[in-house]
Chain A
Amino acid sequence: GDSVTQMEGPVTLSEEAFLTINCTYTATGYPSLFWYVQYPGEGLQLLLKATKADDKGSNKGFEATYRKETTSFHLEKGSVQVSDSAVYFCALSDRGQFYFGTGTSLTVIP
């Protein structure tokens, strides 16, 4: 069945460091891929998405490219800020079903 695997956290970075959070997926159909962010005590916010192979989603300095050949959708940001501290979830949607990764906690220290 479909599934999403993302790197385990927690991840701690200094401000302005480069961020990569790995995400790989397994799907039988042609999924859409998403990154959601959850700040403490809040729900999930859609960060970016890509609906087909080679699409790049981007928002607020974050980027992720849908790589079908490696079944990956890694999240990157060139220079993180303290305000980026949150939990990040990779997810896929395939034939009406949604699948989430386990979430990666990011803490950015000044």
Chain B
Amino acid sequence: GAVVSQHPSRVICKSGTSVKIECRSLDFQATTMFWYRQFPKKSLMLMATSNEGSKATYEQGVEKDKFLINHASLTLSTLTVTSAHPEDSSFYICSAARAGEGNTQYFGPGTRLTVL
């Protein structure tokens, strides 16, 4: 158990458009979901933490109006990159914490975003 999926796995978009990435916990309810960004050959940078039904908590330096996070249910969180620019190109990874196992995060397979 503890499978997390992301969709799409890859997306290429034009500069100025918005892109939505979905993160789903397939076989458990996630009390908290996390969004990370990973640059090539680098570690993960936490962007925001979201709890179902409440506003996301963004890390310092992350623009909340640019990276919109919605956590509509205990199994789904979405990240929307608004007005994307080439510098937003990156690997975005979500993770989910299972209820009763709060200190373990289960990661999705990641989404490769390329903005032209």
Residue B54 is within 8 A (CB to CB) of chain A in the complex? no
Knowing A43-B6, A43-B93, A44-B93, the reply to whether A98 touches B46 (Cβ < 8 A) is yes
Asked whether B104 lies within 8 Å of A34 as measured between CB atoms, the reply is: yes
Q: Mark B29-52, 1 if CB is under 8 A from A, else 0.
A: 000001000000111101000000
* Selected interface stretch from A12-20, A59-67, A99-107: A99-107
Interface with A: B13-21, B64-72, B79-87, B105-113, which one?
B105-113
Partner of B104, one of A43, A49, A105: A49
* A93 lies within 8 A of B107 (CB): no
Count how many chain A residues have C-beta atoms less than 8 Å from C-beta atoms of the other chain: 20
Known A42-B109, A43-B6; contact A101-B43, beta-carbon cutoff 8 A: yes
Contacts of B103 in A (CB 8 A): 32, 51, 93, 96
Contact with A93, one of B4, B6, B93, B104 (Cβ below 8 angstroms): B104
Given contacts A96-B102, A98-B34, contact A44 B42 (CB under 8 A): no
Report the separation of the CA atoms of residues A98 and B44 in the bound assembly, to the nearest whole angstrom.
11
A 74-110 to B, binary, CB cutoff 8 A, 1 in contact else 0? 0000000000000001000100101011110100000
Interface residues of A (CB under 8 A from B): 32, 34, 36, 41-46, 49, 51, 89, 93, 96, 98, 100-103, 105
Please list the 5 inter-chain residue pairs (A to B) with the smallest Cβ-Cβ separation, ordered nearest first: A93-B103, A44-B107, A43-B109, A43-B110, A43-B107
Query: What are 17 A-B pairs with beta-carbon distances under 8 A?
Result: A32-B103, A32-B104, A34-B104, A42-B110, A43-B6, A43-B107, A43-B109, A46-B104, A46-B106, A51-B103, A89-B43, A93-B103, A96-B102, A98-B34, A100-B43, A100-B44, A102-B43
